[in-house]
Structures are given as C-alpha cells and as structure tokens.
Amino acid sequence: MKALNMIPLFVIVPLAAAFLNSLFGRYMRRFAEVMTVVSSGLMLGLSVYARILLESAPDKILVYKLGGWAPPFGICMVLDGFSGLMLVVVNLVAFFVAVYSVGYMEKYTDKPKFFILFSLMVCGMNGVAMTGDMFNLFVFLEVASVASYALVAFGTGEEELEASFKYAVMGSVASSFIFMGIALLYSFTSTLNMADMARVLSYRHSVWVVPFAGVLFLAGFSLKAALIPFHAWLPDAHSSAPASISAMLSGVLIKTLGIYSLTRILFNVIGAGQGYLKALMFFGVISIIIAGMLALRQSDFKRLLAYSSISQIGYIILGISLGTPLGVFGGLFHLFNHSVMKSLLFLNAGAMDYSTGTRDLKEAGGLDKLMPLTSKTNLIASMSISGIPPFSGFFSKLIIIAACVQSGHFGYALCAIIGSVFTLSALMKARKLAFLGEIKDRMRGVKDASFTMKISMVCLAVMCAAGGLMLLPPFRFFIETASGVLLKGTSYANIVMKAVLR
Amino acid sequence: MTGNYSREDMSLVVKTASRLTAGIILIFGLHIILHGHLAPGGGFAGGVIIALAFVNLLIAFGKETRLSRISENVASKLETVGAVMFLAVALLGFFGGTFFMNVMTKGEAFNLFSAGTIPLSNISIGLKVGVGLFAIFLALVILERSRK
Amino acid sequence: MTLYFLCFILFSIGLYGVLRKRNIVKIIMGIAIMSYSVNLFFVLLGYKFRGRAPIDAHDQGIVNMVDPIPQALVMTSIVIGLAVMALLIAISIRLYEKYGTLDITKIRRLKG
C-alpha cells in the first residue's frame, strides 16, 4: 500500500472500531476490549511505519486530498515531520492505556461504552494531528473534546460529575473563542486551507483583524492546553477521572488539542511575531513556578500529578516559544518524554487506587513491599520527570535550559531550574508518603495490580529509561524534522502547495 | 400508574393532534432528506424533523404508555446502523480512489437521482440524527431516580 | 458593520451569563447564546451586496450569490453545539440528583 493511501486510515480505523463496538459490544463478552486493543495496536504500527516512510518522500511531506478535490477547494490531510511526531505520540500512549484499561476498568460498569468513547477520542486526536484545513481542525477538536467530557464523567460519582461539568463549560467557552477566531481569519483571507491562508497572509497585512484572531486563538488554545491562568479545570478533571483517562488527558489530549494546534497556527499560518512569543514565554514560566508550588501542598496523589502536568506543559511552551532551533527541539523532545512519563505516573496512581481503594497519600503507606512493580516503575518515572540523569527527562530539560541561556533569558532559565526542584520535591513527597514507610493496618491485604496493567506500566517505564537514546544520530531525525517544520514559519506553505500538485 | 407526583394528562386535543400529524411530519422529514442536493436541508435538518415526530408522541402521551414503537435498545442499534452506513459510503470512495470520493454516476443536474453518493450520505445521516436525537431524549426522560 | 458589533454584544451577553450566574441551567443557556452568536456572526460574514440565496436553479445562473461556504460550516457547528448541549444537560440532571441543588456555589466538593 502506498504511503499516501495510509493517511486517512488514521481516522477510519478508530472510527470503525468505535462503530463496530457499538453494534456488537453487548453481545460478545470480550469484544469491545479486543477490538480496541487491536485497533490501537494497528494504529501504533501504522504511525511508526508512516513516519519511517516519510523520510523517503520528496521534501519530507505527504499531502492527501480528500475526495480527490485539490486545495484550496478541498480538504487535505498533511503528513509532515510535526504531524508524524504527534501521531506516534498519540498512538503510543493510546495503545498502552488501552491495554491497561482492560484490567483497570473491571471496577466500573458498562465497559463497552468506555471503549467506544475511547476510540472516538483517539480518532479525534488523530484527525487534529493530520488535518491541513482550519475548519476540519475545529471539527476534530470538538469530537475529541466532547468524547473527553463524557469520559471524565464516566464513573458518575459526585466528584466526577462536578469536575466534568466545570471542564465541559470551560472547554465550550474556549471552543467558541477558537471558532470566532477561525471566522475572522476566513473573512480576511477568504480561504480555509492552512497553506493557502499562510500565503495570503504573507502579502496582505491587516491592522486589527489578524492580531485579534491571534489573541482569540491564544486564549482558546491556552485553555485547552491548561496554561496558567487558564488552568482551573485541569486539577479537578484529571483527579476525578478514571486513571486511564487521566493518563490520556494529561499525556496526549492537552498536547494535541492545545500545544500542537496553537504552535501549528501560530508558527505556520499567522506567523509568530515577537509579541506572541513573549506572551507565551511569560505564560510558560509562570506555569512552571506557580504550578510547581501548588503541587507541593496536595495530599491527593492524582491532584499532585495534575499540577505537575501544568508545570511540565509550561516547560514545553517555554521551549517552543523561544523560537531558536535548540529551543524548539528541546520543547518537542520534552513533549515526547512527558507524554510517556506522565502517563506512567497516572497509571501508577491508578494501580494504587485499584488495589487499595484510595487516592489519599496520607492514608497509604509502605506500598513498596506490597506492590513492588508499581513502586519500581514509579521510581523510574519520578526520577525521569524531575530531570535526573540518565533518564530521558534530564536531556530534554537540559536542552530547554541551555536554549534559554543561549538566547539571553537568564531569569527564565533560573525559573526553569527552580521549577525542576519543585517537581523533584513534590514527587519525592508522594513517593515517601505512598510507597515508603510503615504499612498501615488497613493496607494489609493489598495485592499488586493485574496482569495487563503490569505489562503496560513496564513497557512505558522501559521507554522512559531509554528515551535519552532519541538524541543519538540514528534517531535524531524524529524530532529534528518536526522542529524544522515549525522553524520554517509561513514559508512552509509553499512546500505544501508544491506537494499538492504532485 | 401516576408515579410519585400527580400530574394531569395532556388534553384530548393534544393527543389526537399529535397522533394524526405524526405521519405527516415523518413524510415531510423524509422529503427534506431526499431532496438534500436540490433544495436547502439535507441529512441533518431532515433528521431533526423525523426525531421531532417521535418526540411529539412521547410528550403528548407520557413515557409510561410508550405509544412510539421505538424503545431504547432499538433506537441505539438503529443509530449505529446509520453511522456504519455513513462510514461505508465514505469507504466506497476510499477503495475506488480517494477517501470520500464520489464514485457513483452523477446524472443530469436537478434530477432526484443525480449527484452520485450525496443522497446516500444524506439518508444515512438522516437516519442517524433522527434516531439519535430521539435516543438522547429517551435517555434524558426515562432516567431512573436513584436513592439519595 | 453595526451587525457585527451586535453579534459581539450577543457574545458578551452569553459570556456574562456563563461567568456570573449561579444557576446551572442559566450557565448552560449562556453557553448556548455564545455558540449561537458565533454561528450568526459567521453566516453574516458571507454577505455580498444584493446577493441572493446560494441555491442553483434551472433558470438562474450562478451570479450574484452570497457566500455558501459559511452556511455549510455553520450547519456543522450547529450540530456540534447540539451535541455539547445534550451532554451538558445530561450532566446537570445527574448533578441535581447527587447534590440536591442547582446552585453552582454549593457544588464545591473539590477544592485546593
């Protein structure tokens, strides 16, 4: 099969899996789980294969025209370095979380519906990563968002419903902002295709329409990415959701819907001026510091991890908005690392919740002896996310700090280092309270997690430890192509339009 | 039979009117779906009108009598059939050329049987939206009251 | 131009509803008003001076039509708004059952 024809499969296969699940999920017992695991495994293999095939394509870009209609009249799907990176990240985390959910969702009722919504969310995220059309981006963004609103409320307990309501209201407000921005850009450029829009915007300058649309996008996508001061929904939603959904939300959803869309539109369509980049750098740095401090006083394990997520997203935004090659490389590398690390941490918290029935750190204790595998993977993930060599997190944070120093922002580099200290102390607090120490009385009969949960945690831990190998020359192309796409800026549109004609 | 609150039924006028007009509303919705490529409307608008025919009956007669002949399970299955039909129409294009391509003959303009696969898409979307909206309404209405 | 300003005013009315009202149903109505105002704004953007409806007919040619693309996009956006609204209402019904109140200041079990 040609590489070009594989592109729509990323949207078709999860969608078909969701619909077939919905038809047959109630009749055969294990149908939903097997179908979802098989489809996400297929997607993982396909995304790695497509990324490798991309290296041999001319200009390293593949454009698929939906329905045979050529842009700017039709919708196109673009597979380039950045999309390829996001696809691999999304499908990797989705596969391991699907395997984990086979064991974890035993505690909830109505498992087939969970896997239907899960497949729909993966389909939406794949669509966001692949599309080359502004309104198509909005549609897939909404598909993934609505599926995630429903998934956060899946347990229908009191806390889950309250968290889901807050998340849904804030997410809808952000989507309205984004839609208004798209409407304004369409009125100015009279086209919806991203590459065509970039071309029109490069020779037509506007006084207030495009900056207004840019600010609307900044507000809307920052809320989806949970930067401070738009973060208020994240701690509630990520702590009340089932653990596999917390891992998906924190690991890939806020990165695809927030960071990928924001940087794609800001760098490749509107053109990143210094105003936007300075604002994003500021948001990133205050996210690192404030969320790091807020994580220290939490006693709920998942809430602590949620605040730590906001802090790490601040790192990614700081790295990308520096605008220098080293900065963008560091930011994207940290995006890849953080997806793996944070998913592993949330899966650990889920294993603790599954076995002991509580998420409160003050009630747990001494789990190191009762759940050895969970404890060891937790150690690997904590060390990696705090930036301790030789795990992967160390390299990405080092590159970001070096890039800050290189462009002269010494204060920001100092804040990044302080944030790393906060992260280390918050995760060490969690580890000390939950895993080390004396075994409390009510924890006596606790067993370790079930088989599928253990497999996915081990695989993610291996990738966490080996993530530093991404910097070696055979693998460096993976992230270097992605950062190259962003750094070309609006002239990237010419490459896309040339590829369309092929 | 009245549940835990006493409420008057809808009056006889409402019941008779909704029973008589349900068929007309259904046919009108079908007309809008089928002529989606010639006149404004299409799958979604026609689907909403079809759903409203059933919702009318449900509101007039109350949820206990279940005059509408579609229960929740049937509604859920039909909705998925509509979705699968839509994906099948899109996949027809995928195997014939590109995804979503129009692979059937496009007849002369302004005929009913023209414009390739667009009427098929309209019909499947109409089925899905119609039954889906009714299923949403059923789910909101026939909610079991949990103990507090 | 005044039409666009009125759309923005409608948008800010919806935003005010989301931010300041305490009843859950009024917050949901605020979100609905916001999405309808953005849809209206988008459709109004396509207006051409003295254009007619973008429907092709036997005798009239394809001249002097208003822009049909915003109309197609707004159709999709209305469907998306419907789905979000249905989900929000379902969540709020369940919230009322669990908490016994529709006042958002009393539904504050998650803190910190």
With an 8 Å Cβ cutoff, is B11 touching chain A?
no
Tokens of C19: 């931010």
Q: Which domains does chain C have, with CATH numbers?
A: 2-48+64-110 (1.10.287.3510)
With an 8 Å Cβ cutoff, is B100 touching chain A?
yes
Q: With CB atoms and an 8 Å threshold, state whether C86 touches B136.
A: yes
> Shortest CB distance from C55 goes to which of B40, B44, B143?
B40
The region of weakest confidence among A50-64, A407-421, C71-85 is A50-64
Is the pLDDT at C26 greater than 70, yes or no?
yes
Averaged pLDDT, B5-27: 83
Q: Any idea what the Cα angle at residue A107 is, between residues A104 and A108, rounded to 5°?
A: 105
Residue window 67-106, chain C: list those with CB within 8 Å of chain A.
69-70, 73, 76-77, 80, 83-84, 87-88, 91-92, 94-95, 98-99
Residues 6+ apart with CB under 8 A from A52: none
Is the pLDDT at A267 greater than 50, yes or no?
yes
Averaged pLDDT, C32-36: 94
Q: Any idea what the Cα angle at residue C66 is, between residues C62 and C72, rounded to 5°?
A: 100
Are the beta carbons of A269 and A490 closer than 8 angstroms? Answer: yes
Averaged pLDDT, C95-100: 86
Give the tens place of pLDDT for each residue, A141-168.
999 999 999 999 888 788 888 999 999 9
d(CA A100, CA A89): 17
Tokens of B30: 């079908």
SS3 A229: coil
Is the pLDDT at B6 greater than 60, yes or no?
no
Averaged pLDDT, A93-99: 92
Instruction: Share the mean pLDDT of chain A.
Output: 87
Q: Which residues of A274-296 are buried (b: 16+ CB within 10 A; e: fewer)?
A: eebbeebbebbbebbbbbbebbe
Is the pLDDT at B147 greater than 50, yes or no?
no
d(CA A319, CA A415): 13
Give pLDDT, residue B74.
78
- Number of alpha carbons in the 13 Å side-chain half-sphere of residue C26: 13
Is the pLDDT at B97 greater than 70, yes or no?
no
How many whole angstroms from its chain centre is CA C78? 7
With an 8 Å Cβ cutoff, is A277 touching chain B?
no
Q: Whole-model pTM above 0.90? A: yes
Closest chain A residue to C28, measured at CA: A169
How confident is residue B148, by pLDDT bands cut at 50, 70 and 90? very low
Is the pLDDT at B105 greater than 70, yes or no?
no
Chain A nearest CA to B99, separation (Å): 5
Of A493 and A144, the structure prediction assigns the larger pLDDT to A144
ipTM of the complex, rounded to two decimals = 0.94
Domain-by-domain residue ranges, chain B? 2-147
How confident is residue B101, by pLDDT bands cut at 50, 70 and 90? low
d(CA C40, CA C11): 10
SS3 A77: strand
> Shortest CB distance from C77 goes to which of A179, A236, A303?
A179
Q: With CB atoms and an 8 Å threshold, state whether A164 touches C91.
A: yes
